[in-house]
Structure 1
Amino acid sequence: MTLDSPNRTRIISRRQVLLAAARGGMAVTVGSLLAACGQPASAPPSAPAPAATTAPQPAGAAAPQAGPGGFANVGTLKLLMSSHFVPAYDTWFDQWAKDWGTKNNVEVQADHILSSDLAAKNAAEVAAGGGHDLYKLTRNGEPILYYNVMVDVSDLTKQIGEARGGWIPFAETLGFLEGAWHAVPEYFIDFPALYRKDIFDANGLAPVDTWDDLMKAGTLLKSKGNPIGIAINQKSNDANNTWTGVLWSHGGSVVAADGKTVALDSPETRQMLTYAIELYNKTMTNEVLSWDDTGNNLLLASGRGSWIQNPISALRTIEHDTPDLAEKIFVSNTPAGPKGRMTSVTANSWVIAKWAGSVPAAKALLLDYYAILPEGIKASQGYNQPVLKDLRKKPMAILGEEAKLNVLQDFDQVIHAVGYPGPPTAAAGEVESNWIIPLMVARAVNDGDINAAVEWGTQKIEAIYSKYT
């Protein structure tokens, strides 16, 4: 997703490692880690009651307020979050956190790690029952997956929501379960197409509107040395988002609308895999099998790639590094399939662990942070798509100011959470965190055996869902 970030190392798996994983198992076995910390093999536990250390909120508060009190001598608040794909945001956030800590006599330690490593780190700390105080989760199934070890934050979401006109419907899929909030949603990351308008124009091609359009355009452009690029692997949020979206837009799904019945084995899933095999063979090179989240960015930045599906961080980096190339890159909506236009997106939400040293201090930090959230959106250069209604009023900050990005102001209309068409569940979150859909696609493009790929995916998903029934 990004090309340059501080303290970031590019991790590229060998193709053989990927294919071995696709044949045999997972890179991160989240379920086993949860089992190690006592997660029951049956239904998830009931939502926890609010922590006893939660400070009362002022009656009738209309806006987030700093310091609810009761957190003297806290010492250190430790935050775990991914390195942002627009490095300027991390610079801004770290300075804000430092200033907040100085003001409140709290040392704030914000640890940024690679996005590709975050799922495993989160799972390991949950299994250990300790680590950081606050977590900024980046997969929209994780708040539900880990809700039983997180503090009830309903008081925060109520106060923040009331101050900003309420939450959009998608936000309620990020941690609202059994009548309580277990996460404070912050933003989703749009997932549009970025394409070389000059290359499309030179070949008489219109912007891609459907997945069929991409097949036709990509076939032509690959023959001219300008392939498209979609990751087909594990440890890539991009791969999860794209291939889940392709599945949904072809009418397939992991689970039925009841949120319980595994539905992967269907004609629609086979249609999607048939499409995926053809798209891979006709429009891509085999490098996509070993990409992490930087792979498609690098393809576009090289000047060779013609189309990728990615957040605008790729464009922002190219604007900084190669302005002339950036002028040729335009943005279009996520492609539509036979059953509609929809995609999975990465979403960021804050959670407070039950083992946090001071829940009141953690809540105070979040209240102050959400009070200045528009500054963070600007620091992200439009990458952070807000989930509070007032912040989505047009013209939106950044997105409504740059003509290229105007289409992204309505991106909340085409996104769904894991578990679609049913509600998000812990099981759906575990499927997402184990990259089962992109690994199923990897098996299919490797040997062409669609039935075997569907059987493999179904077995993996049924094994996960059986733990929650």
Structure 2
Amino acid sequence: MAKTKRRSVLKLAGGTAAVSLGGLAGILATGRTPAYAQQKTVHWLKWVDFVPATDQLFRKEMMPEAEKALGIKVNLETVNGNDLQPRVTAGIQSGAGPDLIMSFNNQTYLYANSVVDLTEIAEAVAKREGGLFPYARSICSDGKMFMGMPWAVIGGMIAYRKSWLEEAGYTKFPDTWETYREAAKKLKAKGRPMGQTLGHTFGDAPGFTYPYMWSWGGKEVEADGKTVVINSKGTIDSVKFMQGLWKDGMDEGGLAWDDTNNNRAFLSQTISATLNGASIYIETLRKPDQYKTEKGMPMNKDILHAPLPKGPAGQFGFHLLQSNMLMKYSKNQDAAKEFLKWLHTEANYAKFFNSQKGFATPCTVKWESDKLWDEDPVMTPYKVAARLGQAPGFSGPPNAKAAEGLSKYIITDMYAKAVQGMPAEDAVKWAEAELKKIYSA
């Protein structure tokens, strides 16, 4: 019996027409070709892009091109950005799931033991494209391995209605928090408050609260990455100021917003300004007949971008960094690596970059001088996002402990609790206790 099985296998492997009836029947019954002839599939899980044209580009053009060039099948799956991290956890626990998963910020450190080292690919791209910005390198690499392949930085700037600010007496967007509060109060009195999420959402909430805290001199830990120092005068002052700012000038519904609610509020003309990627402006460019001002003019003509204001300790930014992690449980690691290399060739990455129109800032120096940044001055402020970003955990490293603090929304919740009525000192003490649980473990 053993000899019969061996002959059948040998005949199949040799490509002869002599296939045993039993073997042929088995193949027909399963509906699958023999294992050696099966095409490899790379499953890539990424966020639903805030620029719809990009996901259309991937599905209709780039994924078919990749399949043809690499001889693989690409399964592109998109989900809400807030759903990515639970999918990572589920894949690791079950030992099965997408081969490549998009990661945000320093989440890479949380999964360092569950991902494949991508140093070879990352360093090759860095060498070819003038180097990686330190922000991208610090978040994707712990100095020993690249836990994620740097993909893009989604710059966070304040989108604002130019005419509404002018009507309130401001020819430029406020560059200090005091002036910001003053302007917000005037605008709210006219039914045009500023808007900001303090909810559990991946981008706009921490993108606002971290730089805001830093600008007042607050920080989570010292440079040693161990000593929790959030309970400081700077942090308490920032919380007290936020309490007044929230009541005076903000849309108080922002406590429950995710990363899409502020877009909708701005586009429906219920808020005058909000921290965001460039997706609001890009959407008004895409649909100029749909989005118009109260005077009937295209809204895209009345939108400008500005960085977050500066505080007593300076001006800061925290911009969403995206990378793609290759999971250790993947059975298609070699194919996934080839797919990553293909995505990051200059010609292919350029298609992605151009489709974003400045919403995504590349992680390597080369793209900072790309002509795209000169095509629309409204988008130019996003050009330096990758160069100037500061990572969560400052002034310590953006390691797994800092990533845990970010994932638990401790900094955002500190401000949310305070604007809902908790005394500033108590809100800061709560954050201190939560961070000590993480950093003392």
- Where on the TM-score scale, by shorter chain, does this alignment land: which range? 0.7 to 0.9
* Paired position in structure 1 for 2:159: 194
Map 1:178-193 onto structure 2 (within 5 A).
178-193=143-158
After TM superposition, the structure 1 stretch with the greater mean CA deviation from structure 2, 316-325 or 445-454, is 316-325
How far, CA to CA, are the matches of 2:305 and 2:237 in structure 1? 27
Letter in 2 for 1:259: G
Structure 1 residue 266 displacement after superposition: 1.2
* Paired position in structure 1 for 2:203: 237
Q: Of 428, 435, 438, which aligns to 1:454?
A: 428
Q: Of 297, 304, 312, which aligns to 2:278?
A: 312
How far, CA to CA, are the matches of 1:458 and 1:203 in structure 2? 39
TM-score between both structures, scaled by the size of structure 1: 0.81
Structure 1 residue 391 displacement after superposition: 1.0
After TM superposition, the structure 1 stretch with the greater mean CA deviation from structure 2, 312-321 or 423-432, is 312-321
Letter in 2 for 1:218: A
Pick closer, same or farther for the CA change 1:72–1:101 going to 2, 3 Å. farther
Secondary structure of the corresponding residue to residue 76 of structure 2: strand
Structure 1 residue 445 displacement after superposition: 0.7
* Paired position in structure 1 for 2:244: 278
Greater helix share, structure number:
2
Aligned sequence identity (%): 27
* Paired position in structure 2 for 1:93: 58
Q: Of 222, 228, 253, which aligns to 1:287?
A: 253
Q: Of 156, 160, 168, which aligns to 1:203?
A: 168
Structure 1 residue 172 displacement after superposition: 0.9
* Paired position in structure 1 for 2:130: 165
Q: Of 58, 81, 93, which aligns to 1:127?
A: 93
Structure 1 residue 252 displacement after superposition: 0.6
* Paired position in structure 1 for 2:234: 268
Map 1:57-456 onto structure 2 (within 5 A).
73-94=38-59, 95-137=61-103, 139-205=104-170, 206-321=172-287, 322=291, 324-371=298-345, 372-393=348-369, 396-456=370-430
How far, CA to CA, are the matches of 1:288 and 1:129 in structure 2? 38
How far, CA to CA, are the matches of 2:303 and 2:269 in structure 1? 10
TM-score between both structures, scaled by the size of structure 2: 0.86
> Is the CA contact (8 Å cut-off) linking 1:174 and 1:349 kept in structure 2?
no
Letter in 1 for 2:192: N
Structure 2 unaligned regions, length at least 5: 1-35, 293-297
Q: Which has the larger radius of gyration?
A: 2
Deviation readout 1:48-87 (Å, 9 max, x if unpaired): xxxxxxxxxxxxxxxxxxxxxxx98552111111101101
Structure 1 residue 121 displacement after superposition: 2.2
How far, CA to CA, are the matches of 1:155 and 1:318 in structure 2? 40
Letter in 1 for 2:383: Q
Structure 1 residue 225 displacement after superposition: 0.9
Secondary structure of the corresponding residue to residue 58 of structure 2: helix
Deviation readout 1:81-126 (Å, 9 max, x if unpaired): 1101101111112231232123323111111001122222223323
Pick closer, same or farther for the CA change 1:414–1:334 going to 2, 3 Å. farther
Pick closer, same or farther for the CA change 1:280–1:72 going to 2, 3 Å. farther
Q: CA RMSD in A?
A: 1.7
Deviation readout 1:178-215 (Å, 9 max, x if unpaired): 42222111111111111111111122213121222210
> Is the CA contact (8 Å cut-off) linking 1:400 and 1:409 kept in structure 2?
no
How far, CA to CA, are the matches of 2:337 and 2:387 in structure 1? 30
User: How many residues are matched?
Assistant: 394
> Is the CA contact (8 Å cut-off) linking 1:233 and 1:239 kept in structure 2?
yes
Structure 1 unaligned regions, length at least 5: 1-70
